[in-house]
Structure 1
Amino acid sequence: MQKKLLICLICLLYVLPVFANDDKHHFPGIFVGTTHADDEFYNTIGLEYEYRLSQSTGVGVAYEHVSDYHEGAGANLFALQMFYHPNTHIKLGVGVGQERIGGHDARSDVFYRLSAAYEYHAEPFEIEPTIDVDLLDGETSVVVGVAFVMPF
């Protein structure tokens, strides 16, 4: 299922610029990085989307898959975020999300997220080194990676 979602997003990234105009409000992206938790590092991939309400504010969603997390059970995270852009390169975010651990007998936990990114504008893409701090049940996870975004 994750591969299908990733393929669909990649296809959309190539098709949607046909409908683009100078006012870019949609910012879909692909995230690749690592999660540091419990003194371990875990590979992390994800999809993200931001809708810019104005030049300085936006709302978004993020989906991440953390492989081998929680003693090999893996985890899927879904977050809703609000973003503030103090200038054309810096993005600051705050959000809340749900972490789903494991497969069929999965359990879910609520987490809070603080994020920061620096946006490099390389038309038609943006490259965004990103750091997220997730707070869950008194524990902290740090997610570091790069998002490849194609605004339209």
Structure 2
Amino acid sequence: MGAEKTSERGDDMTALEFIHKHQNDEDNGECLILPDGSVEEPLPSHIGRLVELTGMDAGALHGRMEKNMEPLFWLVEYTGCMSVWQTRVVAPTVPTGQQQAALEELHDAAFLAPKYLMQTPGQEYVESVYRAKKELGDR
């Protein structure tokens, strides 16, 4: 049972499909896990793909962030996506069960380092994203 494909680009896949596609890659763990548990390659980049997933202009989003905030953490909280590297995961403050299951599959397949770093945005990011969604009409 995998996650249903939801990407407009049509390149999202289940965690198992991602594992099979990248099992022989040297740096195989880099991906995004969407709230529904589907997995995508972060193209053109983690931040670039997260901006695309919002369906909004990057300038409009960056204008809503506080000046001292890291765009990656803000966009992860805004989109609800997990940004995954082999040694690090940046997750929203409340990841979904589907995301946790997909992350566990990647970990079990050795796509993540045994002691990878798990990071989540702080409360100031949660509040900033809440304000931005309210201003933007909670798109």
The structure where helix makes up a greater share of residues is 2
Please identify which structure carries the higher strand content: 1
Quick check: which has more Rg, 1 or 2?
Answer: 1
TM-score (structure 2 length as normaliser): 0.32
